[in-house]
Each structure stands twice: as C-alpha cells, then as structure tokens.
Amino acid sequence: MPGSYLVEAAGPALDISEGVSGEKLLQISGATTYPSHTKLYMTTVSAFGTASAGVSGAQALYALLDSEQELVPVRALYSPEETASQVERRNAQAMVSSQDSGTVAGLEAAGYTTTMTLRVEGTQKSGPAEGKLVAGDRLTWVHVGETRTEISSFASLSQLLAATPPGTQVEVGFEREGSPHSALVTTAAYEADATGWVRPGSQLGIFLAVSDVNLPINVTYGIENVGGPSAGSMFALAIYDRLTEGSLGGDAKIAGTGTMSYNGMVGAIGGITHKMVGAARSGARYFLAPALNCSEVVGNVPGGMSVFAVRTIEDSIAATRAIGVGDTSKLTTCEQVVAATPSS
C-alpha cells in the first residue's frame, strides 16, 4: 500500500555541454561560440513517490537501511491540496524559469545586452517604496545624483543599486496605467542573510516581475524529465564558458547547483547532499554550492571532492577559473562560511 513518505536519493549529474544520448542539453546559435575542455555538470535528485501517494512500506524500509537514501514525509514537501500533476507542472515551470534567468545572467556576464520589462508586483511592508509604487507599475528610469539611468533590464537596475549607498534619495520613474509618473524613494540597506552576509549597495524595497525578455542570440535546452529551478546557476556558467574564448575551468570536471536570478544572484536549493553524491559518481572533483546551503554541505562532502561557496555568477566564474589554473587558495569554502555564520 502507498505510504506517507517519499524517498530521495542521488540523481544523475548531466554534462551540460555534451548532453545525454547524443542530445545536447545546451545549444547556442546567432553568436560566435568557442570550444571548451571544461566539463560542467548540473546535478539532480531522484525522487520516488508523488504528492498524491508515497512509496510502499517495503521501499521505505529499504531506504531506512540504505545510507544514501532519505525518507521524507510527503506533507513536508506537498500540501494535501496538491496533486501529482500539479506538482509536475509546477516543477516544469520552475525549470523553464531557471533556464530563462540563467540564460540572461550568462549572456550579460559574457558582455551581451538583454532587455526586458520590469513591473512592480508589490512592496515590502514599511519598506522604502511602500505607498509610492504599487503593483502593475512599470519601471522606466532611476535618477541618482546627476545621473539618470534608463531601466531596460534587471541588470541595469541591480548594477545601479549596487553602487548606491543605503540612505540615498533617488527618483524612480515609472508608468502607471499608461501615464508617466515619478516618486522620491530613500534606499535602504539589505538585511543580512542566514549566513550573516549583507549584500552590497542598497534596495528600493520592491518585488519585481519580469516579462518581454529580448535576447540578442538564441539559446535552447534539450532537457526532459527534470524539473525545478536548481540548475540555473550551472546553465549561466555554461553559457558564459561557451561565449568566451578558452576553457574557463581548464580540463576540470566541475559540478554545482543553485538557482539563478535575473541579476546574477545564486540562491539556495534542496537536496544538496544527494547532488554532491551524484556529482562524485560522475567523476567531478569540484562542486560549486550556494553559500546558503553550506550548513548542509559541511560534514557531508564525498571523499576527494572540494566544495566552494558562491553567491553570484561572478563568484562562480572566478571559482571555475581558479580551479582551471590550479590555484583555489583564495576561494571561499563552505567550512569558512559556516565558521563565519553568527550563532542564533
């Protein structure tokens, strides 16, 4: 009989450049691409059971006896209202979203320009923009000091705010119901994340939705039966490697995971211990982990593997380049991140 538990285990690590069974996972056209000897792997988790029904008692018992499998309560992951088909659709949408944001981040890191529409979805309660910007407003420009910057992409806004100290009064231009408006907003500092790290620059305190993304080249993915957003950071890294000369990581095998936002920030994911096991089985000796996952990494790294913490696509590029030249002494390890995390 179906039980109330799912089983999670290491899934395959997929070579993004080479693909699977002759099918390339990543294809780029409309731009000059360069060959690379660096092997970059996206990592996965194999899950058994669904949102509607867990695994059988026999499978659950076997998982208890296998140190590489993990029992997870169905309701820890899915609400009673969710069906298996709904979860599958959600995971598929998350994969598409990770491909979109990873593509934009990779292209912009390689020097390409992308454009998109940014609309306000909401504002932080008691945040800088509360009562000044509302859902549906389309950002058009931001005036800081003597400089007015047109906002044509997430990157243009992020780069501007990264160089703006907290407490700076800026003028934000936006379009509301077809009419131009502007508002004065005093930027605020970012709050420290779970590791104690504070993102440089300042924020407007708004939540943004992205639409009408315009890419200068064509990027397509050949991935089936894999869902979720956690491959975005490795997609971005692979795109950067293909669009820049040389082998970014030499001839190393490098695996990793992490969500990727349109502004190049790497986010936390689930199942990282299983993903490291899958990466080790593929022969990868190096792993790029989101800094926010480091507490799960420490103590669970497969033998012979080195794990480095990353927070941005720039971190991932720098880490891959350092691995390629054989000098990782300046990279941040997960042990260092955990050691620097304030006690709760």
Exposed / middle / buried, residue 343 (Cβ in 10 Å: 0-12, 13-18, 19+): exposed
In a domain, 303, yes or no: yes
In a domain, 134, yes or no: yes
How far is Cα 96 from Cα 227, in angstroms, rounded to an integer? 8
Strands (E) in the chain, as ranges, are 5-10, 14-15, 26-29, 39-42, 45-48, 69-73, 115-123, 138-144, 147-150, 169-176, 179-186, 206-214, 218-221, 253-256, 259-260, 266-267, 286-290, 306-310
In a domain, 173, yes or no: yes
> 113 with 44: CB under 8 angstroms?
no
The verdict on 207 and 220 lying in the same domain is: no
Provide the pLDDT for residue 122.
96
Domain boundary residue, one of 184, 214, 244: 214
What is the band of 285 on the pLDDT scale with cuts at 50, 70, 90?
A: very high
The verdict on 295 and 175 lying in the same domain is: no
The verdict on 240 and 334 lying in the same domain is: yes
**SS3 assignment, position 50:** coil
The verdict on 130 and 265 lying in the same domain is: no
The number of folded domains in the chain is: 2
Domain boundary residue, one of 153, 182, 214: 214
Percentage of the chain exceeding pLDDT 90? 72
How far is Cα 249 from Cα 40, in angstroms, rounded to an integer? 9
Q: 108 versus 47: which is more confidently predicted?
A: 108
The verdict on 232 and 108 lying in the same domain is: yes
Q: What are the distances in angstroms from CA 285 to CA 122, 239, 250, 252, 255? A: 43, 21, 13, 8, 8
CATH number at residue 186: 2.30.42.10
Provide the pLDDT for residue 60.
73
The verdict on 100 and 130 lying in the same domain is: no
DSSP string over 286-338: EEEEEGGGHHHHTT-PPTT-EEEEESBHHHHHHHHHHHHHT--TTSPBHHHHH
The verdict on 273 and 307 lying in the same domain is: yes
In a domain, 199, yes or no: yes
pTM comes to 0.89
- Domain assignment of residue 171, given as a range: 115-214
Q: Summarize pLDDT for 146-190 with one digit per residue, the tens.
A: 999 999 999 999 999 999 999 999 999 999 999 999 999 999 999
CATH number at residue 227: 3.30.230.10
Q: Comparing C-alpha atoms, which of 244, 239, 283, 292 is closest to residue 265?
A: 292
What is the band of 99 on the pLDDT scale with cuts at 50, 70, 90?
A: confident
Domain boundary residue, one of 159, 183, 214: 214
> For 98-116, what is the mean pLDDT?
92
Q: Summarize pLDDT for 317-337 with one digit per residue, the tens.
A: 999 999 999 999 999 999 999
The verdict on 182 and 263 lying in the same domain is: no
pLDDT at 24 > cutoff 70: yes
Q: Summarize pLDDT for 193-230 with one digit per residue, the tens.
A: 999 999 999 999 999 999 999 999 999 887 665 655 67
In a domain, 194, yes or no: yes
The verdict on 209 and 287 lying in the same domain is: no
The verdict on 128 and 90 lying in the same domain is: no
pLDDT at 92 > cutoff 70: no
In a domain, 76, yes or no: no
In a domain, 26, yes or no: yes
The verdict on 40 and 125 lying in the same domain is: no
In this structure, of 7-21, 23-37, 205-219, the range with the lowest mean pLDDT score is 7-21
Provide the pLDDT for residue 79.
72
The verdict on 107 and 249 lying in the same domain is: yes
